[in-house]
Amino acid sequence: MSTPPSLQALINALKVLPGVGPKSAQRMAFHLVQRDPAGAVQLAQAIIDAQGRLQHCRLCNTFAETDVCEICQDEQRNHSQLCVVEMPTDLWAIEATRAFEGRYFVLMGRLSPLDGVGVNDIALRPLISRALDGEIEEVILATNFTTEGEATAYYLSELLRARGLKVSRIARGLPVGGELEHADPATLAQAVIERRDKP
């Protein structure tokens, strides 16, 4: 007795999803076939649609359905600041704050030698040419404060400073409303080291 081939194929195909092992893939396959045929059809269609429609914005490299994304098309935005993030989600998170008026560049990853992600696997070359468009004055590095994000920020700042650009890094410190007692020691240490003059 074996699993029907088309069911096994579906289970195998689901295993390409990040974080999905054999057991979850099986559970997902059963769910799609047994409980939610309509959702399954929708999922298949959504994959095909996304594949067909999504591209990377020619300027900022984020996902877009057009050659140039909405933000890059917006002439109202500050042309002199470029905020570099790892993923589109980071861009959306910063946009949601309404604290940044400039443009973005999305690396679509981070340097992570241990995972085999080197300087040729993220969008470094497009970033360099974007940053050197003549309008950009300041590049704000907004990669994550993880080991990989920090390494990426370090590498980029060396690269961009060597080309005469002003490079800054988003601030690290206690969260708004944060209490010293509950801050982790590394964050608290950084908040002390990177203290600013009280205005």
Q: Which residues bind a second copy (CB under 8 A)?
A: 1-7, 9-10, 12-14, 16-20, 24, 26-34, 36-37, 39-54, 63-65, 69-71, 87-89, 91-92, 95, 108
Token pair recorded at residue 177: 């409303």
Looking at the Cβ atoms of 55 and 147, the one nearer to a second copy is 55
Question: Distance from CA of residue 112 to its chain's centroid?
Answer: 14
Shortest distance (Å) from residue 27 CB to a second copy: 6
| Nearest-10 Cα torsion for 112, 118, 120, 123 | 20
38 forms beta bridges with none
Cβ nearer to a second copy, comparing 146 with 194: 146
Q: How far apart are CA 74 and CA 85, in angstroms?
A: 19
* Tokens describing residue 109: 């990853």
Smallest gap from Cβ 82 to a second copy, in A, equals 16
The DSSP bridge partners found for residue 64 are 55
Q: Which is nearer to a second copy, 44 or 132 (by Cβ)? A: 44
Cα(4)–Cα(2) distance, rounded to whole angstroms? 6
Q: What's the min distance (Å) between Cβ of 164 and a second copy?
A: 30
Q: How far is the CB of 163 from a second copy (least distance, A)?
A: 27
CB nearer to a second copy: pick between 42 and 146:
42
Strand 63-64, strand 55-56: pairing: antiparallel
